[in-house]
Amino acid sequence: MNRSRPHLLIVGNGMATNRLLTQLQLLAPDSFRITVIGQEKVPAYNRILLTPWLNGEISTEELRLQDTEWYTRQEINMHLGDGAAGIDVKEKKLRCESGREFDWDLLVLATGSQALIPPVPGHDLEGVMCLRTQNDAAVLRRRCSGGRVKSEIAVVGGGVLGLEAACAINAMGLPVTVIHRDGWLMNRQLDKEAGEQLADAIRARGIKVYTGVNCTKFIASKKMPSVLRGVELLPLDNSAPDTLPQQLPCHTAVLAIGIKPEISLAKAAGLTCERAIVVDEWMRTSAENIFALGECCQINREMFGLVAPVYQQADVLASLLADGKWQRANPAQCCYKTKTLATRLKVAGLDVYSVGLIPDNISRSLIWRDRSQGHYRRMWLHNNQVVAAVAMGDTDGVSEYASLIDQHTQCSDPISLLLGGQLPADQQPGRKTSGRDVAA
């Protein structure tokens, strides 16, 4: 092995890292010595597919991002099941929990994020869990099988992840209840009407949905004080059902109320952090030769939860490293550019799409309702420019919208845009983006 090559040390073995590795292999094969440090034992997997994996829709092989031979072929040194404990920026050294040390020429932090745990009594009981890692999913799978089938599973949080989880559990034939703090489901992506229609569609599958309800306490079992027996419910607004029980008995509570970037390592090392590790458009942190990308970083205050921008960051970083000009004030090649991204709920038979930021005061909004088919579409415009759109039940052609928002396309005929999913021929924008944008 040629020692003269710079050593690239990557912390974290998620989707960001995987993308970075594949890109480097394309742009600069053999120009780095690469080591990847991963907390989880298992090889890199596609986090987005955890819920379908949970209920057996896809196999473990399908979950993998790479087969093991690939890493060997690339001579990538994989150090898994031993998370990073600390880094010394001056000495360019990294220490793992096991005590094992690594030095680096270039360090990449791709530590991702953690699930938010609400500061609620009992959140540490056995049975209160999040659905973040393959291990989480495996645990949940175990808790769902076996004898407990009769009793309830609670999902706390009615966002994309929570709903996907709830549907997966429901698909396994288990009774599940979604508890959502805000007035309607996916309130960050949908307007009220769409959120409520979504709740109806989900209830139609036999899932209980409580909106406007806070989960104030995880109640321990009397016999086994460390084990979850139920959750305590508190109505927050009138969207809560009148028949809301004070307690919901359940043996498992899945927390899906959000994520927070994993930045403890960077903070300890003294890198500039705000809510996440601060990097520039070339993924460079405040410290020389240290880079960060993915859910753990922020660029101009923007944070990341979807896979598309993370992949873009990986591509930017890969070409930066390939060019070897990362020390220049203004590297010539492409940098990260923020893009309008759409959110889709990935549940079979439940088509939900959302793009842009729904404004509070708008100059114009159009709604298409076809209730008997459960179709709903809405679009918001300002000065003849699309600013946001949602679609339920029927999302044909909606993928056009994101690029229109990005390009501030003037739209004199929003009706054909809303209904036809495209502008009349004379108003077609030059470039179109396509491909599915998915929550990570």
Partner 1 sequence: MSESTLITLNESDVSVNPAEVKTTCAYCGVGCGFVVSEGAKKEDARELQADKDHPANKGRFCVKGSSQLDTIGLDNRLLYPRVDGRQVSWDEALDETARRLRDTIAEHGPDSVAFYVSGQLLTEDYYVANKLMKGFIGSANIDTNSRLCMSTAVAAHKRVLGSDSVPGCYEDLESADLIVITGSNMAWTHPVVYQRIMAAKAARPHMKLVVIDPRKTVTAESADLHLQLKPGTDAFLFDGLFAHLVRTAALDIEFIEQCTKGFNDVAGNSLKRSPSGRVVAERCGLPEKQVSEFFHLFAATEKTVTVFSQGINQSANGVEKASAILHCHLATGRIGKPGASPFSITGQPNAMGGREVGGLANQLAAHMDLENAQHRDIVQGFWGSVHIAQRPGLKAVDLFEAIHNGKVKFVWIMATNPVVSLPDAGRVSEALKKCECVVVSDCVADTDTLRLAHIKLPAAGWGEKDGTVTNSERCISRQRAFLPLPADVKPDWWIICRIAERLGFGKQFAYQMPADIFIEHAKLSAFKNDGSRDFDIGGLASLSHQDYNELGPTYWPIRAGQSTGSTRLFADGKFFTDDGRARFVETGLQGPVIENTLQFPLILNTGRIRDQWHTMTRTGRSAKLQQHRTEVFAEFHPEDLKKYGIQNDQLVSLISPLGRCVMRASVNAGQSPGAVFAPIHWNDCFTSAGRIDSLIPAVCDPVSGQPAFKQTAVKAEALLSEWQALLISRERLSLPANHYWNYRLLDGLHVYNIEGKEHFDLAHIKRQLTDENYKIAELTDSDSNSARVIAYNKKTVFAGLFVWPGSESGNTHKPDENWLLSEFRTQSAENKFIPVRMLALGRAVHGNVEGALICTCHQVREAAIQSAISNGCCSVETIGQCTRAGTQCGSCVPELRKLIQTAGLATQQLPFSADSQVAPDNFMQEESVC
Q: Which residues bind partner 1 (CB under 8 A)?
A: 362, 364-373, 375, 377, 394, 396, 412-413, 415-416, 418-420, 422, 424-425
Distance CA 18, CA 116 (A): 24
Nearest distance in Å: CB 305, partner 1: 31
Structural tokens at position 124: 């540490």
Which residue lies nearer to partner 1 by CB, 134 or 365? 365
Burial of 114 (0-12, 13-18, 19+ CB in 10 A): middle
| Contact present, 114 and 259 (Cβ < 8 Å) | yes
Nearest distance in Å: CB 394, partner 1: 7
Computed over its alpha carbons, how large is the radius of gyration of the chain?
A: 23
3-state helix vs strand vs coil in the chain, percent to 5: 25, 30, 45
- Give the DSSP H/E element, type plus range, for residue 279: strand 277-279
Which residue lies nearer to partner 1 by CB, 155 or 194? 194
Structural tokens at position 171: 């698909």
Nearest distance in Å: CB 424, partner 1: 6
Nearest distance in Å: CB 414, partner 1: 8
| Contact present, 387 and 381 (Cβ < 8 Å) | yes
Which residue lies nearer to partner 1 by CB, 323 or 394? 394
Which residue lies nearer to partner 1 by CB, 156 or 388? 388
Which residue lies nearer to partner 1 by CB, 153 or 398? 398
Which residue lies nearer to partner 1 by CB, 201 or 240? 201
| Contact present, 94 and 87 (Cβ < 8 Å) | yes
Nearest distance in Å: CB 415, partner 1: 7
Nearest distance in Å: CB 395, partner 1: 11
Q: How many CB atoms lie within 10 A of CB 48?
A: 16
Which residue lies nearer to partner 1 by CB, 81 or 429? 429
Handedness of CA 102, 69, 46, 313 (dihedral sign): positive
Nearest distance in Å: CB 283, partner 1: 41
Determine the 3-state secondary structure of 206 from DSSP.
coil
Nearest distance in Å: CB 359, partner 1: 12
| Contact present, 380 and 388 (Cβ < 8 Å) | yes
Which residue lies nearer to partner 1 by CB, 238 or 372? 372
Distance CA 313, CA 321 (A): 12
